[in-house]
Amino acid sequence: MAADASGRSRIAIIGEPIVAADLINTGAAPGSAVSDDLLSAERGTAAWWRIEGARVPGGGLPDIQALRRLRSALRDMIEALVDNRPVPQAAVSDLNFFTHSAPASTRLRLTGTGLLAETHWHGEYGGNPRLAFIATQAAAFLSDPSKVSKLRRCANPACSMIFIALNPRRSWCAPGVCGNRVRVARHHRRAGGA
């Protein structure tokens, strides 16, 4: 958790269908009211990797600069898609750099009940499997228009979070965070308060 401009704790929004969405939500969008970056400190980054650990390949943690570069490419692409703007070529090139950085191979294994596919990410060419995985998973998602149409910005104007609305009625990054804040603000306005 990190503190936002008002001193309240900002909770990482996690568990979106692609790790890329969780990653961009660790940092605030340019110009948003929230100015903190959960990846600004070594400790915050380690905590984020612990949360995402089960969803990404194992192996060493990537360099923080590389992680931030991937995040920035993903944010530029996803923001453009959400706003219906052309996706910047530079962001696409950056993402492709990461998808190429570590190849993956799939192997089938016979189990007692059937077949199990195991994917191995190759870090032996110098790239980081975690970054390559996040980029590859995002590339598959972002090139599918039916999935892109589910990308949404949180309905709280002070929030910069972007999420994937698997439920079309979802309008908050987290109902317990932004949903409550906006409802409380509306209540205060109606009651003639601040």
Nearest-angstrom CA–CA distance, 160 and 113: 45
Q: Fill in the per-residue mask, 61 to 100: x = in contact with Zn ion (CB under 5 A), - = not in contact.
A: ----------------------------------------
Please identify, using beta-carbon distances, which residue of 23 and 154 lies nearer to Zn ion.
154
Considering the complex, what minimum distance in angstroms separates the CB of residue 158 from Zn ion?
8
Please identify, using beta-carbon distances, which residue of 10 and 130 lies nearer to Zn ion.
10
Nearest-angstrom CA–CA distance, 11 and 3: 9
Helix axes 64-82, 89-101, angle to 10 degrees: 130
Please identify, using beta-carbon distances, which residue of 28 and 159 lies nearer to Zn ion.
159
Q: Fill in the per-residue mask, 38 to 57: x = in contact with Zn ion (CB under 5 A), - = not in contact.
A: --------------------
Binding flag, residue 160, Zn ion (CB under 5 A): no
Please identify, using beta-carbon distances, which residue of 122 and 150 lies nearer to Zn ion.
150
Nearest-angstrom CA–CA distance, 191 and 46: 43
Binding flag, residue 182, Zn ion (CB under 5 A): no
Tell me the C-alpha to C-alpha distance, in Å, between residue 64 and each of 22, 43, 131, 140: 16, 11, 11, 24
Greatest pairwise CA separation for the chain in angstroms: 67
Binding range to Zn ion, per CB under 5 A, among 19-27, 63-71, 134-142, 178-186:
178-186
Considering the complex, what minimum distance in angstroms separates the CB of residue 1 from Zn ion?
15
Considering the complex, what minimum distance in angstroms separates the CB of residue 183 from Zn ion?
12
Binding flag, residue 18, Zn ion (CB under 5 A): no
| C-alpha 172, offset from chain centre | 15
178, 160 in Cβ contact below 8 A? no
Considering the complex, what minimum distance in angstroms separates the CB of residue 23 from Zn ion?
16
Binding flag, residue 156, Zn ion (CB under 5 A): yes
What SS3 class is residue 63? coil
Nearest-angstrom CA–CA distance, 80 and 86: 6
Residues forming the site for Zn ion (CB under 5 A) = 154, 156, 159, 161, 173, 178
